[in-house]
Amino acid sequence: MGRLVVMRNGETLQEIELRPGQLTIGRRPDNDLRLDDPTVSGYHAKIQTIGADSFLEDLDSTNGTLANGKPIKKRYLEINDQLEIGRFQLIFQAGVINTLSGKTTILLPTLKKASLQIIGGANTGRIIELNKDSTTLGKAGLCVVILKRNITGYALQFAEGTHAPLVNGRAIKQGDAMGLKDQDVIEMGEAKMQFVETNIQSK
């Protein structure tokens, strides 16, 4: 998982380790990360973390949220992304573990191999190897999903379309993501796929 470095005018104010779940950002004191400045809305943005993946969403704030200088509504966070919320800068960095010895251990990728086996629809029997960091599937306007590989495995994000994909019968909202487990069943319209994942044994 990643972490946020919170800065203002070049000075580091705080570092936050992102854990699974939601982190709210805003001016009001009940936010998980409070940024007390008039340029920040009461509830400005949120970060949703699923496994090792984090997604930033602007909550219809007054002054908006920038990622690498561009306004965003929703964004999948990548290492070294520079976020701007009001007068604050937030840098998204790789997560670390502080050990008892005082040393810092960088989280290394878990070696996994994954594929999608089509078990229903026109291409039943076909196997799609997931050998890239990001794989896009679907038809524009109907249902497009992105499968992302991270240090703990894979996550599926519903990118766009009028028909929500299902994971084990559960609908995914547009812009949201869900971590995938071995044998999960994904449905996109008439297509039905099973996610298959195995660890790669290191020599």
Q: What is the pTM of this model?
A: 0.52
Residues of the chain with CATH 2.60.200.20: 2-94, 114-197
66, β-bridge pairs: 71, 84
Ranges under pLDDT 50 in the chain:
97-110, 202-203
Report the 10 Å Cβ neighbour count for 2. 24
CB 187 within 8 A of CB 165: yes
Name the CATH topology of 2-94: Tumour Suppressor Smad4 (2.60.200)
Domain at 114-197, CATH from 3.30.379.10, 2.60.200.20, 1.10.10.60, 3.30.56.10: 2.60.200.20
Predicted pLDDT at 96: 56
Predicted pLDDT at 107: 43
Predicted pLDDT at 106: 39
Predicted pLDDT at 108: 44
